[in-house]
Amino acid sequence: MKILITGGLGYIGSHTVVELSNCGFECIIIDNLSNTSSSVLTELEKLCEKKIELWKIDLLNRDRLAHIFDTHHFHAVVHFAGLKSPGESVSKPLKYFDENLVSTINLLKEMQRKDVKKLVFSSSATVYGDLAIPPVTEEAPTSALNPYGRTKLMIEEIFQDLSNSDSKWGIVMLRYFNPIGAHPTGTIGEKPNGIPNNLMPFITQVATGQREYLNIYSNDYPTHDGTGVRDYIHVVDLAKGHLKALAYLDNHLGTHIFNLGTGKGYSVLDLVKTFEAVNNVKIPYKIIERRPGDIAVSFADVSKAEKELGWKAKRGLKEMCKDAWNWEIKR
């Protein structure tokens, strides 16, 4: 079966391509290469031991998007493509509405035109805003703290409206918590362009000397060491969740939301100290002021995904740190 993967050369997308391909799916990738490189395709083909078709197009290009749907008959779509920096979204909201919202609407129009109505969407725990009390369930209240989060929430609402209008749609929305780590071979991992938005790439860049020190945003939160607590999940575990979501859609229509996390919270300093211990490196850091919008504690209730998808994260924090460093020193 052919699966269209939008943003398939990105961090989470590429790991998902490996898992899908290894389970016998034929993956066709769309990526505009705005935050990745075509070299990732070479590594994917090595890992999967097969050629993988890449279409270098932007989802905003309706003609090119229509062409790929006319060329292939897809069983389903896994939608990763989009911009993902909360900070940048505050200064460039229209860019985020265009790249995230309009592109998704274009994709849905083509799916509808070709009667491809199975979709797995890369959502985010950011849709919970600062209202949810951990452990966060899928029924927790939602809110948007920035335009990035608002686009995720709006896209989820679009899916709900679409499903209400046509009962043949089956859509799974996966709300990720904090993906880190890399493929255990060290061949693919997180490689952001420019200044990283996420914590782990900052840590690895400090460890290699690319950056002098890590900024930790406050140590006065009401947590065990004063630093913010988050639910970190290994990217391979996360990728496997998409396999389970696709299988779920074989027997379920309508819209469905699942948290993907470990159900455990670790502080920023927990992560730093574990990384240092596992990899025998030192991570200099400085404590600076809080960032607006950051919350003290966030971790998932993952019981719904375990019960209904049959999915559970298996890799711990040590493995996440080990694999992230292995990727950094090999690339």
Residue-wise pLDDT tens for the chain (331 aa)? 999 999 999 999 999 999 999 999 999 999 999 888 899 999 999 999 999 999 999 999 999 999 999 999 999 999 999 999 888 999 999 999 999 999 999 999 999 999 999 999 999 999 998 878 999 999 999 999 899 999 999 999 999 999 999 999 999 999 999 999 999 999 999 987 777 778 999 999 999 999 999 999 999 999 999 999 999 999 999 999 999 999 999 999 999 999 999 999 999 999 999 999 999 999 999 999 998 778 899 999 999 999 999 999 999 999 999 999 999 998 7
Is 133 buried (19+), middle (13-18) or exposed (0-12) by CB count in 10 A? exposed
- Cα–Cα distance between 274 and 287 in angstroms, integer? 18
Please state which of the four CATH numbers 3.30.559.10, 3.90.1150.10, 3.40.50.1820, 3.40.50.720 is assigned to the domain occupying 2-181+231-263+300-313: 3.40.50.720
Asked if 197 and 87 count as a contact pair (C-beta separation under 8 A), the reply is yes
Pairing of strands 266-267, 229-230: antiparallel
- Cα–Cα distance between 96 and 82 in angstroms, integer? 8
Asked if 177 and 125 count as a contact pair (C-beta separation under 8 A), the reply is yes
**84: helix, strand or coil:** coil
Q: How do the domains of the chain map onto residue ranges?
A: 2-181+231-263+300-313
> Encoding tokens for residue 193?
């362009």
First vs last C-alpha separation in the chain: 32
- Cα–Cα distance between 156 and 159 in angstroms, integer? 5
Task: List the catalytic residue out of 148, 176, 221, 248.
Answer: 148
Count the neighbouring beta carbons within 10 Å of the beta carbon of residue 110. Answer: 20
Contacts of 188 (CB under 8 A, 6+ apart): 14, 15, 18, 40, 43, 44, 47, 182, 327
Please, which residues bridge with residue 229 across strands?
A: 267, 297
pTM, two decimals, is: 0.96
Is 148 noted as a catalytic residue in this protein? yes
Cα–Cα distance list, 329 to 34, 184, 207, 252, 325 (Å): 24, 13, 10, 43, 6
DSSP 300: B
| 279 phi, psi to nearest 5 deg | -105, 0
